[in-house]
């Protein structure tokens, strides 16, 4: 066997014009484990030497030459129709699986295989991913990643100031929600009244897959500033009754769309409850990342049309027009929004109403417009509170018009909320938002906001406003 492997490696080095099609076909045909590993390693090395154009050609080749054999699929399908049973079903299943999937599995067996495949999908997404001509390849990678990165393979680790500097540096680099401004900022986020947890995968050494930052507070917090203040006093953990999840970050672009964030939150809730029995509330403090964008668009079917904005803002028209010196609530709102902090008292209530409409009514491509809302509502959380001017940082004002939202995780409600949202599109809101939710739903569907109803009971939403992921 060592002699055969040596011969193979020499052949790979010496073969003139060796290309990835040859290597991939050879990898699928090899039966020896050592030979497979050597070929997979050669593919990995060659891939990392490619430029962007060469990678695109490689992806195109995988989609073209390693797809299912249509003739074989038709034969297996016909045989299953003639003789349905376990044997013919297994043959049909084998025929419809793209040879790419087995190729990907074999590449994964080599050192750095998983890392390379995750990087490969990141490159694929840069070229359009699912929406491009490489959609089939993206689907295969995503399908396999869902198995390889399931909860059973992930290890939860608390990140503290004593964690290795390598991992701490990566937290600073990967933080995409609220930028970490150097080591003093990071250290404050790891004090006694803070917690940070990350999932790690055994095939990715010292590489966090996803991490969450938590603040232990006295009550639910809607204002981001004290949570990110480097000089804020440290609250004794024994005085905290609430855990605020204020930043969740997927670290690797190649794992975008792989659903392990829900496992992370539920595991962290369990760990915090065991460490701090006094904790009674679990909530997020979340951004509305496309709120400003959605309000400014005019999607007649699913978005903020001028007519919908007028109905939603009708209750606030006198104050808006007086402050702006403009006629009409809509024009007045947009005028004041140019300098929102100068008009915070006038804009607070209108912003909170529009934000509730955005979170529960606005859609894009058949889903809720807001991806953060979709994530938390599908996990079984409820919309607890909307906070005008909860994030006054530049990026918060630009993307979210300064608004933040608390999604609350109540353990006894999670399963029911999840099922209602996924199966019926029903969104659970807190009792304090029910009346406003009813007003928003009626205004969105054609009735003036001031004629809105209380919005029903906790058990029945005024309108099914979400779509299952």
Phi, psi (rounded to 5 degrees) for 350: -60, -40
What is the bridge-based pairing of β-strands 242-250 and 281-284?
A: parallel
Q: How far is CA 304 from the centre of its chain?
A: 24
Place of tokens 């990995």: 44
Are residues 117 and 158 both part of a single domain? no
Residue 252 neighbours by CB under 8 Å, 6+ apart: 118, 122, 207, 209
Say whether both 183 and 67 belong to one domain: no
CATH number at residue 110: 1.20.140.90
Range of the domain at 242: 151-284
Residues 116 and 202 in one domain: no
For residues 191 and 333, state if they share a domain.
Answer: no
In a domain, residue 254? The reply is yes
Do residues 282 and 408 make contact, with C-beta atoms less than 8 angstroms apart?
A: yes
Structure tokens that stand for 395 in this block: 């990026």
Beta bridge partners of 249: 211
**Is 374 in the same domain as 420?**
yes
Domain boundary (148, 165, 186) is at: 148
CATH number at residue 203: 3.40.630.180
Q: Is residue 467 part of a domain?
A: no
Q: Does residue 441 sit within a domain?
A: yes
Same domain, 260 and 293: no
Same domain flag for 127 and 167: no
Alpha-carbon dihedral 372, 373, 379, 380, rounded to 10 degrees:
160
Is 127 in the same domain as 160? no
- Nearest one of 436, 435, 424 to 468, comparing CA atoms: 424
Q: 465 in a domain, yes or no?
A: no
The last residue of a domain, from among 148, 171, 186:
148
Domain identity same for 188 and 306: no
**Residue 435 in domain:** yes
3-state helix, strand, coil in the chain (%, to 5): 55, 10, 35
Q: 353 and 390: one domain?
A: yes
- Tell me whether residue 83 is in a domain: yes
Q: What is the CATH number of the domain that holds 391?
A: 3.40.630.150
- The confidence score (pLDDT) of residue 252 equals 95
- Provide the pLDDT for residue 460: 37
Could you please report the per-residue DSSP string of 151-162? GGG-EEEEE-TT
Distance from first CA to last CA of the chain, Å, rounded? Answer: 50
199 in Cβ contact with 264 (< 8 Å): yes
Tens-binned pLDDT, residue by residue, of the chain (469 aa): 455 445 544 544 444 345 899 999 999 998 888 888 999 999 999 999 999 999 999 999 999 999 998 999 999 999 999 999 999 999 999 999 899 999 999 999 999 999 999 999 999 999 886 667 899 999 999 999 999 998 889 999 999 999 999 999 999 999 999 999 999 999 999 999 999 999 999 999 899 999 999 999 999 999 999 999 999 999 998 899 999 999 999 999 999 988 887 789 989 999 999 999 999 999 999 999 999 999 988 766 778 999 999 999 999 999 999 999 999 999 999 999 999 999 999 999 999 999 999 999 999 888 899 999 999 999 999 999 999 999 999 999 999 999 999 999 999 999 999 999 999 999 999 999 999 999 999 999 987 655 443 333 333 333 333 333 3
- Could you tell me if residue 330 is inside a domain? yes
156 and 267 Cβ atoms separated by less than 8 Å: yes
How far apart CA 95 and CA 69 sit, in angstroms, is 7
Answer yes or no: do 187 and 130 share one domain: no
- Tally of domains within the chain: 3
Both 121 and 190 in one domain: the answer is no
**CA dist., res. 63 & res. 98, Å (int):** 9
Nearest Cα neighbor of 452 from 463, 466, 468, 467 is: 463
Residue at 45 is within a domain = yes
Listed in sequence order, the residues at least 6 apart from 222 whose beta carbon sits closer than 8 Å to its beta carbon are 285, 385, 387, 390, 404, 406
d(CA 213, CA 236): 17
Q: Residue 257 and residue 148: Cα distance in Å, rounded?
A: 14
Strand partners, 309: none
User: Which of 284, 307, 322 marks a domain boundary?
Assistant: 284
Cite the beta strand spans of 147-255 per DSSP E.
Answer: 155-159, 194-200, 208-217, 242-250
């Amino acid at each position: 066997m060592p002699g055969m492997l040596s011969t193979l490696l020499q052949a790979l080095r010496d073969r003139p014009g060796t290309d990835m099609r040859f290597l991939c076909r050879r990898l699928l045909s090899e039966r020896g484990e050592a030979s497979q590993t050597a070929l997979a390693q050669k593919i990995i090395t060659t891939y990392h030497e490619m430029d962007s154009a060469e990678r695109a050609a490689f992806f195109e080749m995988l989609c073209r030459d390693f797809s299912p054999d249509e003739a074989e699929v038709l034969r297996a399908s016909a045989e299953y129709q003639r003789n349905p049973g376990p044997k013919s079903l297994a043959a049909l299943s084998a025929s419809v699986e793209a040879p790419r999937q087995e190729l990907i599995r074999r590449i994964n067996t080599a050192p750095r295989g998983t890392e390379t495949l995750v990087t490969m999908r990141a490159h694929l997404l840069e070229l359009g991913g699912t929406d491009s001509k490489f959609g089939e390849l993206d689907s295969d990678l995503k399908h396999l990643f869902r198995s390889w990165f399931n909860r059973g393979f992930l290890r939860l680790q608390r990140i503290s100031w004593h964690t290795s500097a390598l991992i701490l540096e990566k937290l600073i680099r990967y933080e995409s929600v609220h930028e970490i401004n150097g080591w003093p900022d990071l250290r404050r986020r790891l004090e006694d009244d803070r917690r940070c947890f990350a999932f790690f995968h055994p095939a990715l050494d010292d590489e966090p897959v996803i991490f969450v930052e938590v603040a232990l507070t006295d009550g639910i917090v809607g204002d981001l500033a004290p949570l990110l203040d480097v000089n804020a006093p440290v609250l004794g953990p024994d005085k905290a009754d609430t855990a605020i999840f204020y930043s969740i970050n997927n670290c690797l672009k190649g794992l975008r769309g792989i659903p392990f964030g829900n496992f992370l939150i539920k595991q962290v809730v369990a760990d915090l409850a065991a460490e701090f029995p006094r904790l009674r509330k679990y909530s997020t403090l979340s951004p509305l990342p496309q709120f400003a964008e959605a309000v400014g668009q005019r999607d007649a079917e699913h978005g903020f049309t001028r007519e919908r904005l007028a109905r939603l803002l009708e209750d606030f028209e006198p104050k808006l027009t007086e402050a702006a010196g403009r006629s009409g609530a809509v024009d007045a709102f947009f005028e004041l929004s140019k300098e929102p902090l100068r008009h915070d008292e006038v804009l607070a209530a209108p912003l909170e109403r529009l934000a509730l409409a955005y979170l529960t009514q606005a859609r894009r491509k058949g889903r809720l417009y807001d991806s953060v809302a979709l994530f938390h509502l599908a996990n079984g959380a409820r919309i607890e509170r909307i906070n005008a001017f909860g994030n006054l940082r530049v990026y918060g004002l630009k993307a979210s018009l300064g608004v933040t939202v608390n999604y609350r995780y109540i353990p006894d409600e999670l399963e029911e909320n999840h099922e209602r949202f996924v199966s019926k599109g029903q969104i659970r809101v807190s009792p304090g938002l029910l009346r406003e939710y009813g007003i928003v739903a009626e205004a969105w569907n054609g009735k003036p906001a001031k004629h809105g109803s209380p919005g029903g009971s906790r058990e029945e939403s005024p309108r099914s406003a979400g779509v299952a992921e």
